Amino acid sequence: MDDRKNLLRRIPAVDRVLNEPALSRLSASCPRILLLESAQETVAELRREILEAPQSSPDLSPAAVAQRAARRAERKLSPSLQPVINATGTLLHTNLGRAPLSESALLAMQEVARGYSNLEFDLDSGERGHRYAHVEELLCRLAGAEAATVVNNNAGAVLLALTALAKGKEAIVSRGELVEIGGAFRVPDVMAAGGVTLREVGTTNKTHLKDYREAIGDATALFLKVHTSNYRIVGFTASVSAQDLVALARERSLLVMEDLGSGMLLDLSPYGIPREPTVREAVGAGIDIVTFSGDKLLGGPQAGVILGRREAVEKIRRHPMARAMRIDKLTLAALEATLRHYLDPQEALREIPVLRMLAASAEEIRRRCTRLKRRLSALAEHAAVEIVAEPSQVGGGALPTTELPGFALAVTPRKLSAQALADRLRHGRPPVVGRIQEERLLLNLRTVAREEENELLRALDTVLRNTDDQPVGTLNRFQHG
């Protein structure tokens, strides 16, 4: 106990710590209040360490304590949301922000953000304009729809459309399509939230047109089709085509709504991607309201697109909840720029990062791996690097059973565990996220942009060469968050 009392007494005073060069050096770039807080917290932390961990013997020299406080201050200063290199190979990684944006989309956001814009101002007439006019014509042209609007995300689009079209009534859904899309988005719960009664029909694997027909009652407002975007039912299955469902709905004066999930605007089957129903096909089949995400395979910003027949879209647009879900000008700018690429499918494939990654051939990825492996040969004493075949997932609840053939760099560190390597890369700047497989770290290049290759190499170089303890410095790259 006396020992510890002694140690406690040796903790330097906050003022003393503040005057050490490690901290005073930061005073130009760091607000004083943050430096003070960091020094106080560090001192308190040391006190706790000494009291709670009797074996601990922290370095209590003012210089060392100031170093610790400086790292704390730098953590407070650095942005929480930051770019990450996605080497997982999963294209639409929801945890990593889904779709990266095209250059034009980035530029459009920047230009609109910098000053004022005609967001809701009609430059022709000089009168009030409409926020969604900037994308409606494009969406209608690309999808063959009569009208379109946009909200914050597809979950919001589904909730809003259901509420506006079927509140207090019934919607008929096949049991094979009662989807859960991660988090709290479950079709039955969304319907309940929208005040819509769910009428389930059919079975998990088979639903027939007669199931829908027999379920129609006085309270029925619509048929809801949900794209089974994150699973597939295979084997002995049957579902009702959009055409047949639309024909039945027309006969009984009902609406048909389809939640497409990802919402493909292009048929990518020439690139070995399985055929998905495109938005245009759903609209062409006569579906009244189609909804889909902006940041899945479309490759744009987070948004929920609602399009289809004019009357139904108008009803949705006029609903009071629409105002609570409206998108901001930055999203609108990015969405418009992304949609413009699709006017020329070749341009879309060239400019939209998600489509470019989807269409990249396995051979192309292997060539990039070979080049990087060669550049990593200088690190041979620190790690063995191999090229291994590794397929990619699309992710984000799209094309669930599709594996895109590709390659990854498999890094086996010699002085670290693969887990330690992964941890340190994750704590670098920029952080790199890969996947561990049997004591090696896989870095899949399908989701790493060419422009990120140098940063990836630099990150590996730094981490593999510094295998001792956490390096100390003013900018600690391996800081644990």
Ligand X SMILES: *Cc1c(COP(=O)(O)O)cnc(C)c1O
Output the smallest distance, CB 427 to ligand X, in A: 28
How many residues sit close enough to ligand X to count as binding (CB under 6 A)?
A: 16
**Token pair recorded at residue 65:** 């304590």
Stretch of 151-159, 331-339, 366-374, 460-468 lying at the interface with ligand X (CB under 6 A): 151-159
Output the smallest distance, CB 126 to ligand X, in A: 36
Decide whether 152 or 392 has the Cβ nearer to ligand X: 152
With vertex at residue 135, the alpha carbon angle to CA 106 and CA 299, rounded to the nearest 5 degrees, is 45
Using CB under 6 A, pick the residue from 67, 153, 220, 393 that binds ligand X.
Answer: 153
Stretch of 18-26, 150-158, 357-365, 455-463 lying at the interface with ligand X (CB under 6 A): 150-158
Among 165, 158, 150, 148, which Cα is nearest to 326's? 150
Using CB under 6 A, pick the residue from 221, 226, 297, 411 that binds ligand X.
Answer: 226
Output the smallest distance, CB 186 to ligand X, in A: 10
Using CB under 6 A, pick the residue from 181, 285, 352, 442 that binds ligand X.
Answer: 181
Decide whether 227 or 340 has the Cβ nearer to ligand X: 227
Sketch the per residue contact string, 273 through 292, with ligand X: x for CB under 6 A, - otherwise: --------------------
Stretch of 124-132, 147-155, 269-277, 305-313 lying at the interface with ligand X (CB under 6 A): 147-155
Stretch of 177-185, 270-278, 434-442, 473-481 lying at the interface with ligand X (CB under 6 A): 177-185
Site for ligand X in 301-320 (CB under 6 A): 304
Stretch of 11-19, 75-83, 226-234, 434-442 lying at the interface with ligand X (CB under 6 A): 226-234
Site for ligand X in 336-355 (CB under 6 A): none
DSSP H helices in 20-144: 21-24, 32-52, 62-77, 103-114, 133-143
Cα dihedral: 276, 282, 285, 289 (round 10): 160
Using CB under 6 A, pick the residue from 96, 179, 201, 409 that binds ligand X.
Answer: 179
Contacts of 295 (CB under 8 A, 6+ apart): 92, 98, 99, 153, 301, 302, 303, 396
Site for ligand X in 231-260 (CB under 6 A): 259
DSSP bridge partners of 199: 172
Q: Which long-range contacts (CB under 8 A, 24 or more apart) does 312-320 make?
A: 312/165, 312/255, 312/288, 313/145, 313/146, 313/147, 313/148, 313/149, 313/289, 314/147, 315/164, 315/165, 316/149, 316/160, 316/161, 316/164, 316/165, 316/289, 317/132, 317/149, 318/164, 319/160, 319/163, 319/164
Length of the chain: 481
Stretch of 2-10, 148-156, 217-225, 379-387 lying at the interface with ligand X (CB under 6 A): 148-156
Stretch of 116-124, 222-230, 372-380, 442-450 lying at the interface with ligand X (CB under 6 A): 222-230
Output the smallest distance, CB 295 to ligand X, in A: 7
Q: Please tell me whether residue 300 binds ligand X under the rule CB under 6 A.
A: no
- The amino acid present at 448, given as its one-letter code, is V
Output the smallest distance, CB 133 to ligand X, in A: 22
Decide whether 292 or 407 has the Cβ nearer to ligand X: 292
CB-CB neighbours of 190 under 10 Å: 23
Provide the terminal-to-terminal Cα distance of the chain, rounded to the nearest Å: 32
Cα dihedral: 204, 207, 308, 292 (round 10): 20
Contacts of 74 (CB under 8 A, 6+ apart): 26, 30, 474, 475, 476, 479
Q: Which residue has its beta carbon closest to ligand X? A: 261
Using CB under 6 A, pick the residue from 395, 397, 406, 413 that binds ligand X.
Answer: 397
- The amino acid present at 380, given as its one-letter code, is A
Output the smallest distance, CB 325 to ligand X, in A: 11
Q: How far is CA 341 from the centre of its chain?
A: 21
Q: What is the H or E stretch that residue 409 is in?
A: strand 407-413
Output the smallest distance, CB 291 to ligand X, in A: 8
Decide whether 94 or 476 has the Cβ nearer to ligand X: 94
- Give the C-alpha distances (Å, rounded to integers) separating 245 from 169, 172, 255, 368: 19, 11, 10, 47
Output the smallest distance, CB 155 to ligand X, in A: 3
Q: Please tell me whether residue 100 binds ligand X under the rule CB under 6 A.
A: no
Stretch of 208-216, 223-231, 382-390, 473-481 lying at the interface with ligand X (CB under 6 A): 223-231
Site for ligand X in 15-54 (CB under 6 A): none
188/200 Cα distance (integer angstroms): 9
> What are residue 329's phi and psi, to 5 degrees?
-65, -30
**Which parts of this chain interact with ligand X (CB under 6 A)?**
153-155, 158, 179, 181, 185, 226-227, 229, 259, 261-262, 293, 304, 397
